[in-house]
Amino acid sequence: MSKNQISRPDPKKFRIKSFGCQMNVYDGERMFEMLIDQGMTDAADGEEADLVVLNTCHIREKAAEKVYSDIGRLRKKDGTSPMIAVAGCVAQAEGKEISRRAPSVDIVVGPQAYHRLPELITRAKTGKKALDTDMPAASKFDALPTRGKQARPNAFLTVQEGCDKFCTYCVVPYTRGAEISRPWIDLIDEAKALVDGGAKEITLLGQNVNAWTGQDDNGKTHGLDGLIRALDDIPGLKRIRYTTSHANDMTDALIAAHADVGKLMPYLHLPVQSGSDRILKAMNRSHTTESYLEILHRVRNARPDIALSGDFIVGFPGETDADFEDTLSIVREANYSQAYSFKYSPRPGTPAATMDDQIAPEIMDERLQRLQALLNEQQHDFNIQTIGRETEILLERIGKLDGQLVGKTPWLQSVHVIAPGLKIGDMVDVEIEAAGPNSMTGRIRERIAA
């Protein structure tokens, strides 16, 4: 008899592993809080968990396949496994297929249904498989416990979910569903609860975060800029960020917020994906290289010191050497402080997966290397430019050296400092002393009053 026909005891200790984007990290935190609320405890490092939640990502093949090796690794010496829940975007995309490929999985729960995890655990305890990949009309957010004490001073807040853009390579519209904006009042309340719980910085999240729209208490309609301005008024909140934005939703009002909202950090993640208009069209990106560069120009006029980040895909079907050279050109023109770049990965069910002229892996490798060399150089140059500068950092984690803490500048660079007497969550003025490609070191000048 397989273990799945045997009833199981109540899981007491759990572990959640999140992969993928920051929205998945946010979902992992919400599941964590929910399981704690149910009376379970977090399994400490090295301790065995009775329930393991794998909060998965489906964006590229490598990410999606990882879940199966992780499930295999959960098998104990006696051949049994803890109760295993597969959550996140692989759960949504592959559903029942997961239990077929990995019989030790007990629960499959999609990103819009994880508020039902407690019921699914109850079902799994009886030895039955539990699957929930519904996208219910009622929001999961209403069913989750309110935010409590925060483990990190830099909190995430999902304000918008789903995507209606349907870029031809991307699974997100299928795994996360249609674009929805969470209501204004819920977001203000959650932001206040995060700050009460110790958050100093809030990053507003959405796959198309700048498409957020909502009505304030007086019924006035706002875009993301209005929400940012309202959050700016929360005492105790020091920094506001948002990610990821789409070029088409980059409004004048949001750009203006970069000029005059004190807590809005000078950082913008605005993916372009390719520097070739022909490829952008095939990707269904609905912006051009010209319209993208024009936005950057306006953003830089509003906030001259803004740090710019982006995403790139190399080797999209049909990408020629000339198209790729155009990508290098737009990178040179845009000048990024940091960026993410990926080899195109064909995803089942997306239009690009069946397009002609799929690019050979070795060509993709070569293009990715050249692109990353250029992006790394830009990142290093950006860091070098801050040497000698005095700036404020938010201490976010412990460093490797004795007494060392690591914080972030307003431009999202990591700075290592020796910080005796200081703790995570403190904000300090530092002078940047040295800069490498990935991080910098600084000297503490003065602590900023909380």
Q: Which is nearer to ligand F3S, 171 or 282 (CB)?
A: 171
Q: Which is nearer to ligand F3S, 147 or 176 (CB)?
A: 176
CB atoms closer than 10 angstroms to residue 394: 22
CB 102 within 8 A of CB 71: yes
Q: Among residue numbers 87 through 106, which ones bind ligand F3S (CB under 6 A)?
A: 88-89
Q: Which is nearer to ligand SAH, 131 or 313 (CB)?
A: 313
Smallest gap from residue 342 Cβ to ligand F3S (A): 11
Q: Quick one: what does residue 175 bind among ligand SF4, ligand SAH, ligand F3S, none, with the CB cut-off 5 to 8 Å set by partner type?
A: ligand F3S
From the list 44, 69, 46, the residue with the least C-alpha distance to 56 is 69
Rounded (5°) CA angle 319-320-321 = 130
Q: Does 281 bind ligand SF4 (CB under 6 A)?
A: no
Give the single-character DSSP code of 44.
P
Main-chain phi, psi angles of 205, to 5 degrees: -115, 145
CB 54 within 8 A of CB 84: yes
Strands 427-435 and 439-448: antiparallel
Binding marks (x or -) toward ligand SAH, 234..273, rule CB under 6 A?
----------x-x------------------------x-x
Instruction: Please report, for the chain, how many H helices and E strands are present, in that order.
Output: 13, 21
Q: Quick one: what does residue 173 bind among ligand SF4, ligand SAH, ligand F3S, none, with the CB cut-off 5 to 8 Å set by partner type?
A: ligand SF4
Smallest gap from residue 132 Cβ to ligand SF4 (A): 23
When CB distances to ligand F3S are compared, the closest residue is 20
Q: Which is nearer to ligand SF4, 173 or 318 (CB)?
A: 173
Q: Does 19 bind ligand SAH (CB under 6 A)?
A: no
Strand partners, 415: 407, 440
> What beta strand segments (E) does 82-163 contain?
83-87, 107-109, 130-132, 154-158, 160-161
Q: Does 271 bind ligand F3S (CB under 6 A)?
A: no
Q: Quick one: what does residue 24 bind among ligand SAH, ligand F3S, ligand SF4, none, with the CB cut-off 5 to 8 Å set by partner type?
A: ligand F3S
Distance from C-alpha of 91 to C-alpha of 31, rounded to nearest angstrom:
15
Distance from C-alpha of 221 to C-alpha of 218, rounded to nearest angstrom:
9
Instruction: Name the binding residues for [4Fe-4S] cluster.
Output: 21, 57, 89, 163, 167, 170
Distance from C-alpha of 33 to C-alpha of 84, rounded to nearest angstrom:
18
CB 274 within 8 A of CB 313: yes
Residue span binding ligand F3S (CB under 6 A) among the ranges 40-48, 145-153, 171-179, 266-274: 171-179
- Cα dist. 284→28, 61, 164, 165, 168 in Å? 31, 21, 12, 8, 6
Q: At residue 67, what is the residue type?
A: V
Distance from C-alpha of 35 to C-alpha of 53, rounded to nearest angstrom:
11
Smallest gap from residue 378 Cβ to ligand SF4 (A): 22
Q: Does 58 bind ligand F3S (CB under 6 A)?
A: yes
Q: Quick one: what does residue 238 bind among ligand SAH, ligand F3S, ligand SF4, none, with the CB cut-off 5 to 8 Å set by partner type?
A: none
Main-chain phi, psi angles of 143, to 5 degrees: -95, -5
CB 286 within 8 A of CB 168: no
Among 85, 170, 231, 237, binds ligand SAH (CB under 6 A): 170
Q: Does 187 bind ligand SF4 (CB under 6 A)?
A: no
Q: Does 269 bind ligand F3S (CB under 6 A)?
A: no
CB 297 within 8 A of CB 250: no
Q: Which is nearer to ligand F3S, 21 or 359 (CB)?
A: 21
Q: Is the dihedral of CA 65, 67, 69, 72 positive or negative?
A: negative
Among 33, 186, 311, 431, binds ligand SAH (CB under 6 A): 311
Q: Which is nearer to ligand F3S, 93 or 440 (CB)?
A: 93
Residue span binding ligand SF4 (CB under 6 A) among the ranges 17-25, 118-126, 158-166, 294-302: 158-166
Q: Quick one: what does residue 58 bind among ligand SAH, ligand F3S, ligand SF4, none, with the CB cut-off 5 to 8 Å set by partner type?
A: ligand F3S
When CB distances to ligand SAH are compared, the closest residue is 311
Smallest gap from residue 320 Cβ to ligand SAH (A): 18
Helix (H, G, I), strand (E, B) or coil at 116: helix
| CA terminus-to-terminus distance, the chain | 59
Residues that bind ligand SAH (CB under 6 A): 59-60, 169-170, 172, 207-208, 244, 246, 271, 273, 311, 313, 342, 344-345, 347
Residues that bind ligand F3S (CB under 6 A): 20-21, 23-24, 57-59, 88-89, 171-172, 175-176
